[in-house]
Amino acid sequence: MSQPLLEITNLGKRFGGFVALEGINLTVQRGERVGLIGPNGSGKSTLVNCVCGTLSNETGSVYFDGQDMNGLSAHQRTHRGMARSFQLPRPFGSLTVQDNLRIPLLYTVNARAHTAADTQTRSHLSPAEIDARCAELLGLVGLADKADKLPRDLTQIEMRKLELARAMAADPKLLIADESMAGLSQSEVADIVALLIKLNERGITIILIEHIMSAVMSFSQRLVVLVSGRKIADGKPEAVVNDPQVIGAYLGQ
């Protein structure tokens, strides 16, 4: 098997005396669609934050694309090819929808073009190319007619789409979507799932963190369950949801 894209070994994180994550091992292959579920407070978002560098992990290691991520800040990890969307959308409020996408294009795609360490020869985008890329991304998520709007004029689902488009603008290898569908209607959820699958077909590995089980089940090729900071299941979605331990954790023992 080829080298995995993401390799988390023995990851641990505490907040004071509270153990948020303990002994997490997780390997994600290139091109996979992984669902990550768990009850509230089980450490899903903490795991995302540790992987993305927003929080520093106390034990264990994160290898991404063959590189040790330890000690790299969040923006450096984004430069290496990780992208995330936030649980609550965090758009840049004073910038238009289009300019929101400009930030990762300017600071990740173009920054990558500068670093010689990158073996792939990516070229520096000109202002016209950046405009074109913005338009393309907005078309992809279905926000083409909202380019000049401010985020506060968007609806909830449009905000989620902007969040995903902005993560995609960084041209990532791995996209971590943290509850991209919370608070959306049934048909909107289907909309986002279809979008995520479309992104996956373009070769992007996706980890989806979600509470809405129908979405997780239709999206995931593999399902990982966190409970109280520990991984209790990892496997085929159908097998995982029928695992007595998982049912116990969700319904209470």
Under the rule (CB under 8 A), what is the footprint of another protein? 52-54, 73-75, 78-79, 83-84, 86, 90-95, 99, 102-104, 106-108, 110-111, 166-167, 169-170
CB of 168 to another protein, least distance (A): 11
Which strand ranges, in their side-by-side order, compose the sheet holding 82-85? 82-85, 174-178, 205-209, 33-37, 222-227, 230-235
- What whole-number distance in Å separates Cα of residue 122 and Cα of residue 114? 9
Q: Is the Cβ of residue 60 or residue 104 nearer to another protein in the bound state? A: 104
Nearer to another protein, 90 or 236 (CB): 90
* Cβ distance to another protein smaller for residue 82 or 233: 82
Sheet holding 18-28, edge to edge: 18-28, 6-15, 59-64, 67-68
Q: Which helix (H) or strand (E) holds 36?
A: strand 33-37
Nearest to 25 by CA among 250, 216, 232: 232
Residues 6+ apart with CB under 8 A from 42: 226, 227, 228, 229
Nearer to another protein, 115 or 155 (CB): 115
Enumerate residues 6+ apart whose C-beta is below 8 A from 53. Answer: 69, 72, 73, 74, 76, 77
- Cβ-based nearer residue to another protein, 57 or 220: 57
Packing angle of the helix pair 127-141, 97-104 (nearest 10 deg): 120
CB of 228 to another protein, least distance (A): 25
Q: Cβ(123)–Cβ(114) under 8 Å?
A: no
Q: Of 13 and 77, which CB lies nearer to another protein in the complex structure?
A: 77
CB of 191 to another protein, least distance (A): 23
Please identify, using beta-carbon distances, which residue of 42 and 85 lies nearer to another protein: 85
**Greatest CA separation for the chain:** 58
Q: How far is the CB of 152 from another protein (least distance, A)?
A: 11
Query: Please, what is the minimum distance in Å from the beta carbon of residue 93 to another protein?
Result: 5
User: Shortest gap between Cβ of 76 and another protein (angstroms)?
Assistant: 8
The CB-of-50 to another protein minimum distance in angstroms stands at 14
